[in-house]
């Protein structure tokens, strides 16, 4: 579900928590044009910032984020954190000052509204759209994980609970959480190796990891919340360098590749980087 929150910047605004924007655009409007409308009409832009992170191996909203049934469930250590951004809603009333501030801050990104929200929809319709994307992502994440583990989906069921984030980019982390809860690293240990691992990326039912956008802001949220490793879709490597100090970037393109990378990390083996 989409979360609306009060603005903490000058004008009254509402923020929307999203697990993905499509593409971040920095500095698309000439400064002269902006100054011409300063203090008048709101601009067709959204300002994003690092959002919440959630450990998919833990609890959220009063219950386990991942609840498998029909198979033995492991106790896990470490964390697998999905990461979101916060973006101001279409009716937030973004003014020139908000846009200029966003250009000059590393923890902000300015983007056209249509790059973040479906056009022509009301707030309620956008919320429904985001929920539908999240539900579809959860189904694909479950299918990908069970296929990877060669588990029968008619016998093993997985309930996923994460109500206040919309969009599909938690898919990869959901799949990894399911794998860790059901099988760990495959040799008795945890897939996390006891670390706090964060990441982003969509996932298809066949295990293909897709790009989502917003990775630079998500890395900041990940490091803020204690992650030492960030899994990023390989296609987004160019967008995320350099990483925040203390955060190791690991590019992935499939669920299998992500699992292999985490196994190698846990054992101190070689792991690809951006």
Angle, to 10 degrees, between the axis of helix 123-149 and the axis of helix 255-267?
70
Is residue 146 one of the residues assigned to a domain?
Answer: yes
Sign of CA dihedral 29, 33, 37, 41: negative
Share of the chain above pLDDT 90, in %: 58
Helix (H, G, I), strand (E, B) or coil at 111: strand
Domain span including residue 202: 4-267
Is residue 235 one of the residues assigned to a domain?
Answer: yes
Residue 41, C-beta contacts closer than 8 angstroms, at least 6 positions apart: none
Is residue 274 one of the residues assigned to a domain?
Answer: no
Phi, psi of 102 (to 5 degrees): -65, -35
In which band, very low, low, confident or very high, does the pLDDT at 30 lie, cut at 50, 70 and 90?
Answer: low
Is residue 163 one of the residues assigned to a domain?
Answer: yes
pLDDT tens digit string along 169-223? 899 999 999 999 999 999 999 999 999 999 999 999 999 999 988 899 999 999 9
Is residue 102 one of the residues assigned to a domain?
Answer: yes
Rounded Cα distance between 56 and 182, Å, is 13
Is residue 272 one of the residues assigned to a domain?
Answer: no
Is residue 250 one of the residues assigned to a domain?
Answer: yes
Residue 10, C-beta contacts closer than 8 angstroms, at least 6 positions apart: 95, 97, 98
Is residue 32 one of the residues assigned to a domain?
Answer: yes
In which band, very low, low, confident or very high, does the pLDDT at 2 lie, cut at 50, 70 and 90?
Answer: very low
Number of domains in the chain: 1
């Amino acid at each position: 579900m989409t979360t609306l929150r009060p603005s903490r910047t000058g004008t009254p605004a509402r923020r929307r928590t999203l697990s993905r924007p499509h593409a971040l655009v920095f500095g698309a409007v000439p400064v002269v044009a902006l100054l011409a409308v300063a203090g008048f009409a709101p601009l067709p832009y959204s300002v994003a910032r690092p959002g919440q992170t959630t450990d998919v191996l833990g609890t959220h909203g009063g219950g386990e984020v991942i609840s498998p049934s029909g198979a033995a469930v492991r106790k896990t250590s470490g964390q697998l954190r999905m990461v979101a951004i916060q973006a101001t809603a279409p009716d937030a009333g973004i003014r020139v000052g908000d846009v200029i501030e966003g250009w000059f801050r590393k923890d902000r990104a300015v983007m056209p509204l249509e790059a973040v929200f479906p056009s022509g929809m009301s707030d309620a319709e956008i919320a429904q759209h985001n929920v539908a994307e999240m539900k579809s992502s959860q189904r694909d994440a479950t299918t990908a994980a069970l296929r990877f583990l060669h588990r029968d989906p008619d016998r093993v069921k997985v309930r996923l609970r994460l109500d206040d984030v919309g969009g599909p980019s938690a898919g990869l982390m959901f799949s990894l959480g399911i794998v860790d809860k059901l099988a760990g690293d495959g040799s008795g240990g945890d897939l996390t190796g006891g670390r706090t691992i964060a990441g982003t990326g969509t996932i298809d039912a066949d295990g293909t990891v897709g790009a989502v956008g917003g990775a630079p802001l998500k890395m900041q949220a990940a490091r803020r919340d204690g992650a030492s490793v960030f899994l990023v879709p390989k296609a987004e490597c160019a967008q995320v360098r350099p990483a925040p100090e203390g955060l190791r970037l690991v590019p992935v393109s499939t669920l299998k590749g992500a699992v292999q990378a985490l196994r190698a990390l846990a054992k101190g083996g070689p792991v690809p980087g951006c």
